[in-house]
Homo-oligomer: A and B are copies of this chain.
């Protein structure tokens, strides 16, 4: 167990500090405004020129000086009217209270200040859709090359229409995915199901063979593009890629059924094909895939080199149902990844909504400035 030394209270910052100030509690269970709120770290209080540690330390409580001159840490609800309660916000000793944060937290960022909510990836953190929408719209405006990397959950769960919208509206530079994304998308176009499951999530009778029948139709046509031309595939993600000429790379895996024609069954050839796009990438959006997200993360630089030689961070959004994939991506070196812990279907739906709002706001601003708006 780490042990640690008490601070050197002979140092000038401590020697010149005032005594802590105490104010009586205004009522039972009510603390004075500006009360000092405790942490769970070693804490020293200057009383009568002497630095002392209070008894019964815990966080989220008050510092009380009793009639005998003893210092206690006490929950607010247990404080009685008139009890002497320490006030002040400073934790650096300048108001007579010192929290020895470096003791265990290390000397890192923010000088080891005690804080809540410091984990990097958490479902409890707010998701800034407005920011992500703005980045996407700006990428489109400056002719950037956002690479989207998606897993099959996206198609399963009806985000298919939203993904198609992003492709059709110029927000996708290239799509990197596996055979399954295309298979489920095409099954949805041909049969209206994914893995035999209907839009409302019901398993259908005979449904287990539908993805195989969809694959077989495309194999019979010879290619995905040809199947689009023949009208076998009438809508959806692959249809949009073909008709909008958005490049896609379908990478093979050992889980693949079929596979569809055009899938890179050799993983090294697939890596080379992916890298042609990651080299050009100015942004990355990774949705619901561990395998493809980490593969792409391995290939992506953390930065973009602009034409003028300046560098900026390569914006990387990683969406998954659990904190795990994003943490894993960071653990494999993609430190710049911004994690969103949510359901892929919901992510796509709200992101599209915010992008539409951002576009509307820009059209409005253009109109106000007398500019013919054909942004959308």
Q: Name A's B-contacting residues (CB within 8 A).
A: 1-4, 6, 26-27, 29-31, 33, 35-37, 39-42, 53, 56-60, 75-77, 89, 103-110, 113-120, 122-128, 131, 135, 153, 156-158, 195-197, 199-201, 203-209, 211-213, 215-216, 219-220, 251-259, 265-268, 270-271, 274-275, 278-279, 290-292, 294-295, 298-303, 305, 310-313, 315, 321-324, 327-328, 330-336, 341-343, 345-347, 349-350, 353
Contact = CB atoms under 8 A, between A and B. Distances in A.
A160 B210 CA distance: 41
A212 B79 CA distance: 14
A265 B251 CA distance: 12
Contact of A108 (B109, B122, B302, B312): B109
> How many copies of this chain sit in the oligomeric assembly?
4
Given A40-B300, A77-B268, A103-B303, A315 B60 contact: no
A366 B123 CA distance: 41
A212 B76 contact: yes
Contacts of A60: 209, 211-212, 257, 298
B4 A216 contact: no
Contacts of A267: 252-254, 256, 259, 265-267
A284 to B, nearest CB: 12
